[in-house]
Structure 1
Amino acid sequence: MDYPKSVPSAGLVNGRFADENPIAGTPGSLIPASWGNSVTQEILNAITAAGLMPSENQTDQLSLAIKELAKLDPQQSFPVQVYRKNLVINGNFDIWQRGTVNLGPYTGAYIADRFRCDWNGNAGVSISRQSFALGQGEVPNEPRYFMRWQQITAGVGASVHKISQAIESVRTLAGKTATLTFWAKADTARQLNVTVAQYFGAGGSVDTVMPVGSFQLKTSWTRYSATIQVPSLAGKTLGSSGNDFLRLSFDLPLNVLQVIDLAQIQLEEGRVSTPFELRSPGDELMMCQRYYEKTYSQDVSPGSLIGPYGALISTVRQGQTGFASQPMAQWTFKVEKRAVPSFSLFTTTPKGVSGQWRSGSDEVSSGNARTLGASTRGVWVDNSDIGVITQSYYIHATADAEL
């Protein structure tokens, strides 16, 4: 961009615009239409390149565009600490520690890590991990997986069909502008309502719920985006339980047979939707393990009877008697938990019942395994039964500190 020096009639003085001087009798410079249009277009190009919608009445769009365009590109090889803009954990649906499908069509709660699924009205819903085909061109960045909500029983009188994530701390985005972006499709045209809610914890202020938008889903993958102003916390009271959060919720149609797919969910600060932040599965797993961890390998669902692989191990040696002849092992978590978790114990083989220590030969078991000394860093698992024979014993466990 430059002054219109190639237009003689513009009347530039020393290459710049000049005012009219009635005393000296010199005219003022003219602004050719082509030059004025090109200046406007140059500014519009910067505004649209930043993802903003040009507005006649808004006078700060160029500065906003410059700030947005100056941000680091998550596609570049900068250290991960430089960005980390997506507040949603597992938004790419890479981590499924609890298994890749819900245990039964009427069982909700968590399936994909950090995403809670809830429904009522006797609906039957299958939540599952689905794979993208290699090289598909509909959703960018070559994602591996997406989440599918498949309603196999419509149900009657439902009030809740929801996929949500609780983002730790109600202070998250408080008083700021945020932008939600996600990819979705459905079996037919469906309306998906999205909200953000501030939950202040037990004993705190009443929830504040803000609508993000209503989105008409199509039968092909489509990118959706909306901007929201999150309220400040002025005048609010925080509960004392440490379980406050910001909840992002996708509310699905009620009492209908339907298939809805979600992928690449991103919630970020700012009023501009930017490219989806790609994090490695290893990084994403560590973020998920702040809330849930297991002794099983990542591709093994909790409760699977796979033997001692990865299980806690305790060896009862010859000469131990009484309480000393009980299995006891320490489980140190890979990632410190958000809060002291709740635990589930699982046997390693088909013999016995869930939660038993099993011996290496699978002939001796004890039905009174228990946890004690739990903290955010780990837990002890022991036994309160009578003495057991000299062998090695195994048990699997999960730790749940979800909000």
Structure 2
Amino acid sequence: MDYPKSVTSAGLVNGQFVDENPVAGTPGSLIPATWGNAVTQEIVNTITAAGLMPSENQTDQLSLAIKELAKLDPQQNFPVQVYRKNLLINGNFDIWQRGTANLGPYTGAYIADRFRCDWNGSAGVNISRQNFALGQTEVPNEPRYFMRWQQITAGVGASVHKISQAIESVRTLAGRAATLTFWAKADTARQINVTIAQYFGAGGSVDTVTPVGSFQLKTSWSRYSATIQVPSLAGKSLGSSGNDFLRLSFDLPMNVLQVIDLAQVQLEEGRVSTPFELRSPGDELMMCQRYYEKTYSQDVPPGTVTGPYGALISTVKQGQTGFASQPLAQWTFKVEKRGTPSLSLYTTTSKGVAGQWRSGSDDMSSANARALGVSTRGVWVDNSDVGLIAQSYYIHVTADAEL
């Protein structure tokens, strides 16, 4: 809304209304009907948006409407932006616990935390963390990283080229409007398709897949946005395995050589795209660790030979004397896992047997290292049946509770 500056007959002075001045002989400004109606309609729209009925005789309705619209609603129905949270974890690509690149062009799965990369048709793809230059202005908020999908082998007959994230609970956004926003670019003009899938868990209803939109990527960073109505769950049944989710998927072109970059991905409730929600790397890491955690330092890929630093440690005090001769250590998770995780064991040095306890002197490897008593809170790691000499022993572990 603005003053009727384009209506010259309104008689504005310095862009504003003025009164008639009989002494100076200057007329007062006029109020055009279109402008007066527009002002009134602005106020009426605000009143009705607050659930009130406009009344000619009530002069406090605008203030009542503003107070109503500004209320904090425990149901988060309105205003959504007051509670705005990015439902995606690691949408800024800050966390890469599994390493900053995939293990090889034919190895997909999770690379950047919470984002799964899948492809087939004998395609070869390098997934990697890329750095934004300090002070760049193409993508706002001074992000540190973005994800790159670099296809180096086109492949033949592929049916899946996908970057996706599963959001815990199929109830997420069910029956509500949501808005997706992301930044992307490609090596040339390329079309990607985005979908939302509701997965009801093993034994539940068949998946519901809903298109979000098709987007034509450019060779420079651009912001893309689309609003979707997520289907209701009415008439659906939930599986009993506790692994239901809402999956956001970026479906990429298949059987072509290509480079696609992705940054600042946000999925939020409501029909309005808001600025990207910036969470601290520490908060983002804790959210990621609900699904994946390791004993290695954050940027060290599991399986890397790092020595005993950060590993679980157990001191065998009595060699070859039964239970007391076995390494045993408790690993309490920093963040309770979504479900009971799968455990992987890694040796600390290049010597000995992979996935076994290794002595501090690096001259002794266990034979039967195992995860024992796994729960959502932690795990014991011990060694069964084989006695070891008295010494300190080390082992690295990862816990995976991804959907």
Query: Shared fold (TM-score greater than 0.5)?
Result: yes
The amino acid that maps onto 2:374 is A
Residue in structure 2 matched with residue 196 of structure 1 by the alignment:
196
Residue in structure 2 matched with residue 112 of structure 1 by the alignment:
112
Residue in structure 1 matched with residue 397 of structure 2 by the alignment:
397
Relative distance call for 1:172 and 1:2 in structure 2 (3 A) is closer
- 2:202–2:239 contact (8 Å) kept in structure 1: yes
* Partner Cα distance (2:367, 2:151) in 1: 38
* 4+ runs deviating over 3 angstroms: 1-4, 40-43, 69-72
The amino acid that maps onto 1:380 is W
* Partner Cα distance (1:248, 1:215) in 2: 15
Residue in structure 1 matched with residue 336 of structure 2 by the alignment:
336
- 1:289–1:337 contact (8 Å) kept in structure 2: yes
Q: Is 1:277 aligned with 2:277?
A: yes
Relative distance call for 1:37 and 1:285 in structure 2 (3 A) is same
Measure how far apart 1:180 and its partner are: 0.3
Q: Is 1:297 aligned with 2:307?
A: no
Residue in structure 2 matched with residue 351 of structure 1 by the alignment:
351
Measure how far apart 1:304 and its partner are: 0.5
Measure how far apart 1:36 and its partner are: 3.6
* Partner Cα distance (2:176, 2:186) in 1: 31
Residue-by-residue CA offset, 1:259-291 (whole Å, 9 max, x unaligned)? 000000000000000000000000000000000
Specify the SS of the correspondent of 1:113.
coil
Relative distance call for 1:207 and 1:365 in structure 2 (3 A) is same
- 2:115–2:165 contact (8 Å) kept in structure 1: yes
Residue in structure 2 matched with residue 233 of structure 1 by the alignment:
233
* Partner Cα distance (1:161, 1:238) in 2: 28
Specify the SS of the correspondent of 2:105.
coil
Residue in structure 2 matched with residue 268 of structure 1 by the alignment:
268
Measure how far apart 1:318 and its partner are: 3.7
Residue in structure 1 matched with residue 143 of structure 2 by the alignment:
143
* Partner Cα distance (1:235, 1:42) in 2: 41
Q: Is 1:370 aligned with 2:370?
A: yes
The amino acid that maps onto 2:166 is A
Specify the SS of the correspondent of 1:315.
strand
Residue-by-residue CA offset, 1:195-250 (whole Å, 9 max, x unaligned)? 00000000000000000000000000000000000011110000000000000000
- 2:201–2:242 contact (8 Å) kept in structure 1: yes
* Partner Cα distance (1:166, 1:34) in 2: 50
Residue-by-residue CA offset, 1:321-366 (whole Å, 9 max, x unaligned)? 1122010000000000000000100000010121110001001111
* Partner Cα distance (2:128, 2:219) in 1: 18
- 1:355–1:367 contact (8 Å) kept in structure 2: no
* Partner Cα distance (1:311, 1:283) in 2: 23
Measure how far apart 1:319 and its partner are: 6.5
Residue-by-residue CA offset, 1:132-177 (whole Å, 9 max, x unaligned)? 0000000000000000000000000000000000000000000000
Residue-by-residue CA offset, 1:46-67 (whole Å, 9 max, x unaligned)? 9xxxxxxxxxxxxxxx9xx989
Residue in structure 2 matched with residue 12 of structure 1 by the alignment:
none
The amino acid that maps onto 2:242 is G
Show the 5 A alignment for 1:7-46: 32-33=32-33, 35-36=35-36, 39=39
* Partner Cα distance (2:211, 2:304) in 1: 41
Relative distance call for 1:66 and 1:126 in structure 2 (3 A) is farther
Measure how far apart 1:367 and its partner are: 2.1
Q: Is 1:126 aligned with 2:126?
A: yes
- 2:84–2:269 contact (8 Å) kept in structure 1: no
Measure how far apart 1:385 and its partner are: 3.5
* Partner Cα distance (2:383, 2:125) in 1: 38
> In angstroms, what is the RMSD of aligned CA positions?
2.9
Residue in structure 2 matched with residue 321 of structure 1 by the alignment:
321
The amino acid that maps onto 1:250 is F
- 1:198–1:208 contact (8 Å) kept in structure 2: yes
Residue in structure 2 matched with residue 59 of structure 1 by the alignment:
none
- 1:316–1:392 contact (8 Å) kept in structure 2: yes
Measure how far apart 1:41 and its partner are: 10
- 1:291–1:338 contact (8 Å) kept in structure 2: yes
Identical amino acids, percent of aligned pairs: 88
Q: Structure 1 stretches of 5 or more lacking a match? A: 9-29, 47-61, 73-81
Measure how far apart 1:299 and its partner are: 1.6
- 1:147–1:261 contact (8 Å) kept in structure 2: yes
The TM-score normalised by the length of structure 1 is 0.83
Specify the SS of the correspondent of 1:366.
coil
The amino acid that maps onto 2:181 is T
The amino acid that maps onto 1:89 is I
- 1:212–1:226 contact (8 Å) kept in structure 2: yes
The amino acid that maps onto 2:357 is W
Task: Tell me how many residue pairs correspond in the alignment.
Answer: 355
* Partner Cα distance (1:146, 1:250) in 2: 15
* Partner Cα distance (1:252, 1:3) in 2: 48
Relative distance call for 1:236 and 1:258 in structure 2 (3 A) is same
Residue in structure 1 matched with residue 224 of structure 2 by the alignment:
224
Residue in structure 2 matched with residue 95 of structure 1 by the alignment:
95
Residue in structure 2 matched with residue 19 of structure 1 by the alignment:
none
- 1:323–1:386 contact (8 Å) kept in structure 2: no
* Partner Cα distance (2:32, 2:146) in 1: 54
Residue in structure 2 matched with residue 361 of structure 1 by the alignment:
361
Relative distance call for 1:221 and 1:37 in structure 2 (3 A) is farther
Measure how far apart 1:2 and its partner are: 11
* Partner Cα distance (1:342, 1:259) in 2: 33
- 1:308–1:394 contact (8 Å) kept in structure 2: yes
The amino acid that maps onto 1:115 is F
The TM-score normalised by the length of structure 2 is 0.83
Specify the SS of the correspondent of 1:279.
coil
